[in-house]
Amino acid sequence: MRAVVTGGAGFIGSHLCERLLAAGGEVVCVDDFLTSTPRNIDHLRDSPGFHFIRMDVNQGLHVAGPVDAVIHLASPASPVDYLRLPLQTLRAGSAGTWNALELAAEKRARFLLASTSESYGNPQVHPQPETYWGHVNPVGPRSVYDEAKRFSEALTAAYRRTLGVNAKIVRIFNTFGPRMRPDDGRAIPTFICQALRREPLTITGDGSQTRSLCYVDDLVEGLLRMLDSDHGGPVNLGNPHEVTMYELAQWITKLTGSTSPLTTIPRPEDDPERRRPDITLARELLDWEPTTPVEHGLRETIACFRRRLSTDGIEETG
Ligand code: NAD
């Protein structure tokens, strides 16, 4: 299979490229490093099937030769990034997705959109099934991401309906693992970095809000199964097991052996209270569910962060 992976140098994209190459596929990774670093794909550059194109997919997406699949991940993804890059985020969800769909249509390739649990906004239904239409503030600060992804979904569904493109949508819930950026603002990298630096772990609000945490290897498996299925989705991919932010901070403190105290800071605006996928559809259609214990995933992620913090010259203290 020859797959184009937009956003392939990002956290999830780099794991996906690795997996496609390991299966004997050819990968055209397209990225402009807007929210990632070339280091994420350094280890892939010598693989015979790996090709890299530095390109802003919002401006156009041109790939020579045959293409069997287009997997569209390119978009700022963490709240820190999309709040800092609101217009690029809206463009990635609109023009970027349009360009990726056009490439799939032109090459008669399968198309997979990486949508998000943020499509549900601050949900009033728990857990969230795919049939829930969401509760999104269309003009709040987070809308640049939520609404961009909702537009991406509408566009993908329209290409499938009207042009017959074999296009599918997955809604990804919180995913974690090695190669997340230490400064991406999400709870896991933030807590791990604070714990390793022996700084207080900053819990937003009272820490009772929950997230469900899926290890990246499991997520990539789900993406590939969805790509192989004939279903258009949307299909939720995530871990149905909820963890409070307070429990997560305690867990990371224990696994890092840190003596950092826990402290609280204000919650960001429109921060969802609970997030938990209903993965009945993924189980039925894809025979998929997460299998990696969260604790194993946290250990792998902590090990990666220890390496990065020391090579970046930010030594652990204390
Ligand atoms: P990431 O920021 O690590 O990766 C995104 C990649 O896209 C980066 O390499 C970035 O440089 C690239 N990119 C952004 N805009 C681009 C553009 N215009 N042209 C070319 N490249 C561009 O984020 P991630 O966590 O790996 O997320 C990947 C995808 O999965 C995103 O679409 C995100 O919305 C979705 N997603 C992720 C999560 C999660 O928990 N990580 C949850 C839900 C959805």
Q: 78 CA to middle of ligand 1, Å?
A: 8
Give the pLDDT score at 313: 55
Structure tokens at 42: 């350094």
Per-residue pLDDT of the chain (318 residues; tens, 9 = 90+): 999 999 999 999 999 999 999 999 999 999 999 999 999 999 999 999 999 999 999 999 999 999 999 999 999 999 999 999 999 999 999 999 999 999 999 999 999 999 999 999 888 998 999 999 999 999 999 999 999 999 999 999 999 999 999 999 999 999 999 999 988 889 999 999 999 999 999 999 999 988 899 999 999 999 999 999 999 999 999 999 999 999 999 999 999 999 999 999 998 776 777 788 999 999 999 999 999 999 999 999 999 999 988 777 544 432
> How far apart are alpha carbons 112 and 101 in whole angstroms?
9
Assembly ipTM: 0.99
Distance CA 291, CA 214 (A): 9
Asked whether residue 118 is domain-assigned, the answer is yes
Residue 316 within any structural domain of the chain? no
Q: Is 175 near ligand 1, meaning CB less than 6 Å away?
A: yes
Distance (Å, whole) CA 243 – CA 46: 39
Residue nearest to atom 12 of ligand 1 (CA): 7
Taking CA atoms, 193 is separated from 44, 118, 156, in Å, by: 26, 25, 37
**Domain contains 201:** no
Residue 259 lies in a domain: no
76 in Cβ contact with 89 (< 8 Å): yes
Q: Give a yes or no: residue 219 inside a domain.
A: yes
Ligand 1, atom 34, lies closest to the CA of 77
Q: Is the CB of 153 under 6 A from ligand 1?
A: no
Pairwise CA distance, residues 260 & 199, whole Å: 6
- What phi and psi, each to the nearest 5 degrees, are found at residue 126? -135, 140
Provide the residue range defining the domain that includes 53: 2-178+213-240+271-292
The two three-digit tokens of residue 24, written as one number: 């004997």
- Per residue in 134-157, pLDDT (tens digit) is 999 999 999 999 999 999 999 999
What is the reported pLDDT for 316? 40
List the CATH number of the domain containing 19: 3.40.50.720
Our count of domains for the chain comes to: 1
Other residues' Cβ atoms within 10 Å of the Cβ of residue 118: 25
CA 10 / ligand 1 centre spacing (Å): 6
Is 318 domain-assigned?
no
The residue contributing the CA closest to ligand 1 atom 6 is: 7
The answer to whether residue 232 sits within a structural domain is yes
Residues designated as active site: 145
The count of residues in the chain is 318
Q: Ligand 1 in contact with 75 (CB < 6 A)?
A: yes
Residue 311 lies in a domain: no
Q: Is 109 in the pocket of ligand 1 (CB under 6 A)?
A: no
pTM: 0.96
